[in-house]
Amino acid sequence: MLQKIKEIFKLASLLENSKTFFLTLHSMPDADSCGSMLCFYEFLKRKKKDVYLYSCDRLPENLYVLPYVENIKNSIEKKDYDVAIFFECSTPQRSGIDVEKFKFKNIVNIDHHKTAQNYGDINIIYPCYPSTSEIVWHILKAMKIDITKTMAINLYCGIITDTGRFQYNQTLPETFYVAAELIKHKFDFQKLNENFFSTTTYKNLKLLGVALSNLRVYDGIAIMIIKEGDFKKFSADFSDTENIINYPMMIPDVKVTIFVKEDSERYSFTFRSKDNIDVGTIALEFGGGGHRNASGFKISKNKVKELEKFIYKVERCIRKQIKNS
Ligand SMILES: [Mn+2]
């Protein structure tokens, strides 16, 4: 945190000397961006500031446990503010707003992504931190702000979700320290963990059943398919398939999972891989994208004559990739 201490002091005086604030986060918001923003919201409200919270997308159901979440708006009222704070937006456009049409006297940019750009008047960007919530904790501490129980809940939710409950390898020794400080506020963290990690829907479980019942594994590659008819049967769509792809990865021998979903127009292919097997480039070859270990692409059904043959083609590319890694 010390490298940015100047930025934090600049931020403290900016917050002190400004009245109106516009806070926003990236499209398809998650608990980290949302928790960070709501924590800031509470602290600014306590300072009697005028704060507008904006999200371009509707929030996923599981974010409704976050304190003050009901204050987030999906529409924009006025367009001039003393300060705009962007949470986890690598560019301002990631928030879904057209910045050109706004009058912001100052822009603050808080993020932990490697892709973050320095577009703010104040940029507090730390790619080494596993969550923005952890950065916000350090900012507030540096500014000697008291953290309330509700602020602690917001930050805790951001930390556990972005670190996968302290499992991902970006988790720092001090992440545990920050979490320990937060849970001193005696909130029900078991309930919050259940909300984010052990809650699902009926449709999701039924689709999981379909996917697992046709799961095949050949020599390190797992394949699962959910057909259009199965989605229809449960009045479900692609958004009901969250987390299903991770199940085959629990098999120690499985190195890559291919998950195929069908709707009336397209096939969606999603990949997961272990270690240094790069499925990002495979997705790219087929016109999609993503990361090294998680990626995907979509293809129009009229470009695929026979699904099984097409899957076999994708599988062959992945086999090559496994050999080379
Ligand atoms: Mn994050």
For 8-34, the three-class secondary structure string (H helix, E strand, C coil) is HHHHHHHHHCCCEEEEEECCCCCHHHH
Going from the C-alpha of 213 to that of each of 47, 51, 109, 199, 233, the distances in angstroms are: 56, 50, 46, 22, 16
Q: Where are the domains of the chain?
A: 2-197, 202-324
Count of other CB atoms within 10 angstroms of residue 50: 13
Q: Which CATH class name applies to 202-324? A: alpha beta
Of 14, 79, 74, 6, give the one whose Cα is nearest residue 40. 14
pLDDT at 160: 98
Report CA(32)–ligand 1 centroid distance (Å): 5
- Specify the pLDDT at position 115: 82
pLDDT at 28: 86
One-letter amino acid for residue 70 of the chain:
E
Task: State the Cα–Cα distance between residues 148 and 40, nearest whole angstrom.
Answer: 11
Distance (Å) from CA 137 to ligand 1 centroid: 13
Q: What are phi and psi of 192, to 5 degrees?
A: -65, -40
Question: 83 C-alpha to center of ligand 1: Å?
Answer: 22
Q: How far is the CA of 130 from the centre of ligand 1 (A)?
A: 7
Block residue for tokens 């891989």 = 273
Distance (Å) from CA 265 to ligand 1 centroid: 33
Structure tokens at 266: 């397209």
Distance CA 132, CA 148 (A): 18
- Alpha-carbon span 315 to 111, nearest angstrom: 36
Query: Beta-carbon neighbour count of residue 111 at 10 Å?
Result: 26
C-alpha of residue 225 to centroid of ligand 1, in Å? 30
Quote the ligand 1 centre to 146 CA distance (angstroms).
23
CA of 57 to the centre of ligand 1 (A): 16
- E-strand stretches of the chain: 20-25, 50-54, 72-73, 80-87, 103-111, 122-125, 216-218, 221-226, 256-262, 266-273, 289-290, 294-300
Helix (H, G, I), strand (E, B) or coil at 119: coil
Give me ligand 1 centre to Cα 134, in Å: 9
| Six-digit token string for 242 | 């969250």
CB atoms within 10 A of CB 213: 9
| Ligand 1 center to 237 CA (angstroms) | 26
How far away, in angstroms, is 321 Cα from ligand 1 center?
Answer: 29
DSSP one-letter code for 212: H
Distance 131 CA to ligand 1 centre (A): 5
Shortest CA distance to 154 belongs to which of 194, 108, 185, 128? 185
Give the closest residue to 248 by CA, choosing from 268, 220, 283, 206: 220
DSSP 221-238: EEEEEE-HHHHHHTT--G
Q: How far is the CA of 152 from the centre of ligand 1 (A)?
A: 16
Using the mean position of ligand 1's atoms as its centre, give its distance from the Cα of residue 224 in Å: 29
Q: Using the mean position of ligand 1's atoms as its centre, give its distance from the Cα of residue 176 in Å.
A: 16
CA of 6 to the centre of ligand 1 (A): 23
Residue 275: which region, alpha, beta or left (left: phi > 0; alpha: psi -120 to 50)?
left
> Among residues 176, 318, 317, 170, which one has the least CA distance to residue 254?
318
Please give the distance, rounded to the nearest whole angstrom, from the Cα atom of residue 148 to the centre of ligand 1.
Answer: 21
Per-residue pLDDT of the chain (325 residues; tens, 9 = 90+): 656 788 999 999 999 999 999 999 999 899 999 999 999 999 999 999 999 999 999 998 899 999 999 999 999 999 999 999 999 999 999 999 999 999 999 999 999 988 889 999 999 999 999 999 999 999 999 999 999 999 999 999 999 999 999 998 889 999 999 999 999 999 999 999 999 999 999 999 999 999 999 999 999 999 999 999 999 999 999 989 989 999 999 999 999 999 999 999 999 999 999 999 999 999 999 998 877 888 999 999 999 999 999 999 999 999 999 999 8
Question: What's the CATH fold of domain 2-197?
Answer: inorganic pyrophosphatase (n-terminal core) (3.90.1640)
